[in-house]
Amino acid sequence: MSVPPVAQRADSTNQLSPELQLIAEITAGLNAQQKIISSKFFYDSVGSDLFDQICDLPEYYPYLTEMNMLPHIASDLSQSIVQPVELVEFGAGSLTKIRILLESIKMIKSVVPIDIAHSHLQRAADKLSADYPHVNVAPIFADFTQPVSLQNKGKNQDELVKLGFFPGSTIGNFNRDFALTFLQRLRKTLGDSGMLLIGVDTKKSLHTLHQAYNDSAGVTAKFNLNILRHVNHIAASNFDLDAFEHYAFYNPHFGRIEMHLVSKIEQSVHINGQSIPFAQGETIHTENSYKYRPDEFIHLARMAGWRLEQQWMASNDMFSVFLLHANR
């Protein structure tokens, strides 16, 4: 299919529609010296389902470890949260973790799950609403890397204290500067009485880290490659998924796992009226997962204006969860 380049499709005010902005963002990333596609493009409905499969993998310890910690954390919070709260999850996915909190923390009166994967979130929110009819469920379909307004969402939202929830170490997908900006933004969004429950993956043995992102069943490889299928759908590009392969490694200099897609051959890919050349072995950087020592994360949270209220560590320091308060 031949599609006119984005530059020829702006409207009379020169504004790009949200769809064209996405195409422009993808094209700019592929023109960078280190080619990049943002990890937010993993999550079409196939990608969301593949992520759920990753969560079932024995090697993917971040999900399993945090899931094992949550009942205990929820029980602690059920004692300390004595006022009605609105739970706001950023990047809520299948809402599995929210359910564990709802089982224990009876003061959660309203849930606002935010996600970019529209149909996946709508299905999950409908199910949650059916299973917890006494809880108000008000999903927001938005890109959380942009400021998200909670205005007019949730029930009697002005009376409810906001409890932000950011599990799964999704904070690790941001570089340090943006992680700080994001935490500052959450502090503002959740307000002066707000709290934030956040799951953060820790630094650990190279072997454990490597296995987690290079599972033996090849599901993470499929998840990574699916980003090209999603981009083909959004931008009518012609990535051949068989011409790329998954590559994930720990970069000790940055303290992060990097996921890339490696071009198996010399090739050109057509997108947005351009031909993007790939040398054999050249990569597209698709995701970072920064790992934090607990003291590194606490320092970052403090710089963003949060106060540490409570901290939970999994055995062998495999994963950490923090409760932060906005009030000082």
Q: Residue numbers of the site for ligand SAM (CB under 6 A)?
A: 40, 43, 48, 51, 91-93, 96-97, 115-117, 143-145, 167-168, 170
Nearer Cβ to ligand SAM (115/244): 115
* CB 267 to ligand SAM: min, Å: 28
Measured from the CB atom, the residue of 116 and 269 that comes closer to ligand SAM is 116
Q: C-beta of 170: minimal distance to ligand SAM in Å?
A: 5
Closer residue to ligand SAM (CB): 26 or 269: 26
Cβ 328 to ligand SAM, closest distance in Å?
Answer: 28
Query: Would you say 146 and 116 are in contact if contact means Cβ atoms under 8 Å apart?
Result: no
- Write down the least CB distance from residue 313 to ligand SAM, Å: 18
At residue 190, the 3 state secondary structure works out as helix
Burial class (CB in 10 A: 0-12, 13-18, 19+), 57: middle
User: What whole-number distance in Å separates Cα of residue 90 and Cα of residue 92?
Assistant: 5
If the CB atoms of residues 93 and 154 are measured against ligand SAM, the closer one turns out to be 93
Rank residues 278 and 285 by Cβ distance to ligand SAM and give the closer one.
285
d(CA 187, CA 181): 10
Nearest one of 69, 61, 304, 85 to 184, comparing CA atoms:
304
- We find the least distance from the C-beta atom of residue 188 to ligand SAM, in angstroms, to be 17
Tokens describing residue 311 = 């901290």
Task: Classify residue 124 by its DSSP letter.
Answer: H
Provide the 10 A C-beta neighbour count for residue 201: 25
